[in-house]
Chain A
Amino acid sequence: MSSLEEKLRHLSGTLRAAQPATAPPSRAAGGRCVERRSRVDADTLCGGMAAYASAETLEMVGRVPLADFSLEKTVFLDTETTGLSGGVGTVAFLIGIGFLQEDSFVVEQYFMEDYDAETDMLHRLCRRLANFDTLVSYNGKGFDVPIVNSRSIVNRIRQPIASMRHIDLLYAARRLWKARLGSCGLQNVEREILGFAREDDIPGSMVPMIFFDFLKDGDMTRMEGVLEHNRMDIQSLYTVLCRLCRDVALPLEQPEPADRYSAGRILEAAGRSADALRCYEAAGEPYGPALRARALLLRRSGRADEAAYCWKRLLEQGMFGAEPYEELAKYYEHTRRDDALALKTVEECLLKLRLLGLEPLDSLVKRRVRLTQRMKQGRTM
């Protein structure tokens, strides 16, 4: 027990360290940075939807200002890492980028065979990124970019990635499809929106393990699966981007009410109220969220009567709790100047809340007091 090594061994038991492996042979030098390049016909990826990916549409989809945008100067990026902890010690061992070149979509992958190739890999990425001005990723803002940036700092490389214009498709996909899909993970979007399922794909959670195994035995068999997984991800980025643009450009052609509504929200946020309104209408009155969005937009546009119509419909559908009552009460009180009707609406709502066993809302109670008083005194103006 006197040697340091024995003490460490004993301690490791209490520390729950990983099981001691047989000592690997010492490595004077580890690996190189391997580059892979593949190209596919760009049109097969986007199915003719590329035309919709205009700067104007993309700005709405990505909520990023896109002056002087061109698809040719856009790079798609995805990494595979040694873990998800997101701290400095998480390494991106594979960085894949994709871009358009003539009629092709090219995927270039930089894979470090061992840690000593990381600097070289990051340098190559750095040089390559200089050709582009816009970055497209899926959850890259929260994950890939911080990791690449972090590892570049550790390797003392000035990496442009953190300051590049960045469209994170995860957020865009959520804006458009979350109402319908719930989870907007890339694979789920592929399956539910693009309608294809990957075969023999490696689950993301296995990736770090496969890399650590590769470091031990140098066997590329399973690592090839990771490279393929990464390549598919990058190609999907392009497809998803085009699809998002098309769905926002042609919102009325969406069969699902939820998608029409979501497209409307995106248009409304971009200031295109008339188009948004058309989307909400197209979503159909039975789809409550669209009806409510329509009511709010109409009210803001000064079209109080039409808004009131929507609130009445919502009230009939029994949706959104007290809100339609309150909105109608406001409408009766301020627009129609019919205090009796306003009070009746407030009373109805309070009754409904009481029947449901819920607390009366302060705002309703205050409104009732005010209306009751004024009805006693009569309107002064």
Chain B
Amino acid sequence: MNITQWLTRFRSDPTTAQNITYWNTIPAREAVYAPFPDWLDGRIAAALQKRGVTQLYSHQAEALTAVRAQHDVCVVTPTASGKTLCYNLPVMNAILEDDSARALYLFPTKALAADQVSELYELIREAGVEIKTYTYDGDTPPAARQAVRQAGHIVVTNPDMLHSGILPHHTKWVKLFENLKFIVIDEVHTYRGVFGSHMANVMRRLLRLCEFYGSHPRIICCSATIANPKELAESVCGREMELVDRNGAPSGEKHFIFYNPPVVNEMLGIRKSAVLEARKITTDLIVNRISTIVFARSRVMVEVLLSYLKELVKTRLGDSDMVRGYRGGYLPTQRRAIEKGLRDGSVVGVVSTNALELGIDIGTLEVCVLCGYPGSIASTWQQSGRSGRRQGISATILVANSSPLNQFMVQHPTYFFHQPPEYGVINPDNLYILLSHIKCAAYELPFVDGETYGGKPVTEILSFLEESGMLRHVGNTWHWSTEEFPASEVSLRAAGEENFIIIDTTTPDHQVIGEMDRFTAPMLLHDDAIYLHEGKQFQVQKLDFENHRAYVKSVEVNYYTDANLAVSLRVIDTFKTKGEQLQTSLGEVVVTAMTTIFKKMRFDTHENIGFGKVKLPHLEMHTSACWLAMGDEIWQGMQPSEIEGALVGIGNLIANLAPMYVMCDVKDISVYPQVKAPFTQQPTLFIYDTIPAGMGLSDRLYEMQEQLLKGALDMVNECPCPAGCPSCVGTDGADKHMVRKVLERLCALEG
């Protein structure tokens, strides 16, 4: 059965048809072309022609013109629109004009870098020109590094390597820094939240060094579709950008299908599990040899799906390796083997977290199954773009789960197709992050009195560092004055410190099988937790919290574990406040979080079959928060227990809606309801950034509070459940009618 036949059956078969809430066919799109610019080197043009490229798409030509005019450019490119030419052509052309010219390419992951480099090699080879392109990352052999530093025209690396392997050793890269003409930042939309804030600081350090060496590189950014690509690129680079966003590339016909699993318990609003439905759909696709990628929301879900699918494929197709997992926690060698399998076709199905959301070219996948809404419109389009990169029919099937956000999306498909995608938010001046990078910058080049960093004076921070014994202020200069190597203490991928390493002790030769950031580790790697890796179960024997190590042993059990996080919160400072009966404030809070117990959940039915205790130190975090204090008028005629229920219910709605507005992961924001908050003396809902010192998410929510409450009210009104379910107000005692009443009052206030 081919994909067209499969889709026809999927649409007509009553067992599936009844669950389809929306079927959107996006017609194929014609290309808009423009000729090669006349300044393009003949050898490059000839190489392109050899590949059948006789003209450019309009957006490529536009980007080339802007770069040629010495602008910094941000190109917004849907998947498969030929974005790499937007930077490869200007860079190659510049090197052919001036052999001493250098370019630095930054990709968010090594895998993506490897993929793009092989494409660039091909073009260089076809052009028959001498442009030396090297990858410089953790895998580059020491013997080859010297050549990369001296002779590489184009150096391809990732932000982490730039941060800890290049910038602190800039004197070995004099040729590169003195002659740097271009910095290319691909997938700039991935640099949001903590990672983006780090990246912005790495860019500040990079440009600071360029200034020292007297070079003024142009910057070319590429971004997927988000609401504010120009703004995000500008904050990441600290420069004004010219936006190129009129896409001229063609696309094949695409079917976008929203699938809502049937309700199995109307009272509780419980639908059939999205995982089970996604598994069923995927199995059917794979059995028909239609190449499929499944995106799950978490590592745990990936592993759960993977073990199901592997088992099924083994019995039906005889080779469990035709389905593979792909996620961030895998080691590089494992990841590359999977990518290769995808390209050569020995793998038909892939289960992935959003590691593959990035533009890794894995060939022709025909169908993309999203097991749960990916959390943002932008991510959904990115993941959906994994299928049907080339011409021809492709499909994306969004299988909703019971969460409020999922139910909102699947029942409001027009919202999805008409709402502008989300904002990418970063906060390069997050104090925690800023301080780390100022240390690195001071190590790289002493600060001089009056020097600014990120456009702001930094004397106060430098003085603090001197007091802490790291800098020494002599004359007008701040010198690095310790034995430390500051870059090694900063990981760009999380605000916290180094990751936890997961060690398999099943066999005597203990092996590292993965790693996890320190905020997630207490939840997933506590003693006795079941950790899933490549579909195998491991039980955590011991979590060595101090040394960031988890020792695990292979086991076979019929349950997984789910830890509870106990949280308390207090207000430290208020920055601003608005409103009266509904008083919205923005400020700083201290959140204390502790993992205390965990539940054991049966695999197949997800029912709770036991508890265990967790003994771990608590994590304390200063962060920014937005809180809604609700006055007496709003609660008129309500009992205290009803107030509590309503507050919890609103909290549940907002926790699920807020990430949609600010384009963050659900776990980047937390909601904490307090019936009588000590600080406000009123029923109060706190929404806080779960990243130390805050990422600016609360700030944006403070501004969007009105939309947020209206969205919550819509969600309650449109949920079909009679009295409240996990898809709307949650199951922690919230009464749906009370929640609706309170939200109506709140929205009326706003009126």
Interface residues of A (CB under 8 A from B): 1-2, 4-5, 7-12, 14-15, 17-21, 23-24, 26-30, 82-89, 91, 114-116, 146, 149-150, 153-154, 208, 212, 215
Contacts and interface: CB of A to CB of B under 8 A. Distances in A.
A27 B83 CA distance: 53
Contact of B483 (A4, A29, A85): A85
B481 A82 contact: yes
A319 B460 CA distance: 68
Contact of A17 (B171, B470, B573): B470
A10 B169 CA distance: 30
Interface residues of B, number: 44
A11 B693 contact: yes
A88 B473 contact: no
Given A11-B432, A21-B467, A88 B475 contact: no
A80 B699 CA distance: 50
A28 B168 contact: no
Nearest to B622: A10
Contacts of A19: 468-469
A19 B480 CA distance: 16
Contacts of A5: 460, 464
30 contacts: A1-B573, A1-B588, A7-B622, A8-B464, A10-B622, A14-B432, A15-B432, A23-B466, A23-B467, A26-B473, A27-B474, A27-B475, A28-B475, A83-B483, A84-B483, A85-B483, A87-B168, A87-B443, A87-B485, A87-B487, A88-B168, A88-B170, A88-B443, A114-B474, A115-B472, A115-B481, A154-B171, A212-B482, A215-B472, A215-B481
Contact of A89 (B467, B480, B588, B622): B480
A154 B474 contact: no
B168 A89 contact: yes
Given A17-B468, A18-B468, A88 B572 contact: no
A233 B557 CA distance: 63
Contact of B444 (A21, A28, A29, A89): A89
B600 interface: no
Contacts of A114: 472, 474
B320 interface: no
Contacts of B312: none
B486 to A, nearest CB: 8
B608 interface: no
B38 interface: no
Given A4-B460, A5-B460, A15 B435 contact: yes
B16 interface: no
B436 A15 contact: yes
A72 B243 CA distance: 64
B484 interface: yes
B692 interface: yes
Contacts of B472: 114-115, 215
B112 interface: no
A116 B477 contact: yes
Interface string B475-518: 10101111111110100000000000000000000000000000
Interface string B448-475: 0000000000001100101111101111
A19 B572 CA distance: 24
B485 A18 contact: no
B474 A88 contact: no
B136 to A, nearest CB: 16
A116 B170 contact: no
B555 interface: no
Contacts of A82: 481-483
The 5 closest A-B pairs by CB, nearest first: A89-B443, A83-B483, A85-B485, A150-B171, A30-B474
B445 interface: yes
B569 to A, nearest CB: 14
Given A14-B692, A21-B467, A116-B475, A146 B172 contact: yes
A83 B526 CA distance: 37
B431 interface: yes
A86 B168 CA distance: 9
Nearest to A22: B467
A29 B461 CA distance: 21
A153 B436 CA distance: 24
A146 to B, nearest CB: 7
A89 B168 CA distance: 7
B583 to A, nearest CB: 20
A30 B431 CA distance: 30
B616 interface: no
Contacts of A153: 171, 174
B483 A18 contact: no
A14 B485 CA distance: 18
B444 A88 contact: yes
Interface centre among A19, A23, A85, A87, by most B CB within 10 Å? A87
B572 A1 contact: yes
A4 B170 CA distance: 31
Interface centre among A14, A28, A83, by most B CB within 10 Å? A14
Given A88-B170, A89-B168, A8 B445 contact: no
A274 B375 CA distance: 76
A115 B468 contact: no
B169 A87 contact: yes
A7 B482 contact: no
A83 B473 CA distance: 19
Contacts of A27: 473-475
B431 A7 contact: yes
A86 B622 CA distance: 34
Given A88-B443, A89-B444, A115-B481, A18 B431 contact: no
